[in-house]
Amino acid sequence: MVDFKSSIDILSRLNRVQARKLLSEILNADTNAISLSKHCRKELAHDNLTTVDLLNVLKAGLIYTDPELVNGTYRYRVETEKIIVVITFMHQNCIRCITAWRK
């Protein structure tokens, strides 16, 4: 799938800068464009984290490592000093949160 606005093919491996830019664009356009997996909800509760914590990580966190290819999708770790959120891009305007944890 190609995002014609930014010319980024989200099904291809994005570098850290491209992924962070696309994440910011999606969040600036619509914070309702975030879906959480059942596993992510479970892990948030397990680590006593809230969706506000998750949103703050997505807004302010950085992507330090290269993505991992898992089940046909690239997964990106968005990190702050204390929390990691793993995301994938579902399409050009939707983020799926796979899991999250405290460091």
Q: What is the pLDDT of residues 40-89, one digit of tens each?
A: 999 999 999 999 999 999 999 999 999 999 988 999 999 999 999 999 99
Contact, 59 vs 34, CB < 8 A?
A: no
Check residues 88 and 29 and name the one with the higher pLDDT: 88
Q: What is the pLDDT of residue 1?
A: 41
CA–CA distance, 62 with 81 (Å, rounded to integer): 10
Give me the residue spans of the domains in the chain.
2-102
What are the CA-CA distances from residue 99 to residues 3, 4, 73 (Å)? 25, 28, 14
Average pLDDT over residues 2-11: 53
Whether 15 shows a pLDDT value over 80: the answer reads yes
**What's the confidence (pLDDT) of residue 93?**
85
Q: Are 85 and 97 in contact (CB under 8 A)?
A: yes
Residue 19 CA to residue 25 CA, distance in Å, equals 10
Average pLDDT over residues 15-27: 93
Give CA–CA dist 73/20, Å, rounded.
16
Q: Are 95 and 58 in contact (CB under 8 A)?
A: yes
Q: Look up the CATH number of domain 2-102.
A: 3.30.2310
User: In this predicted structure, which of 20-24, 67-71, 90-94 has the lowest mean pLDDT?
Assistant: 90-94
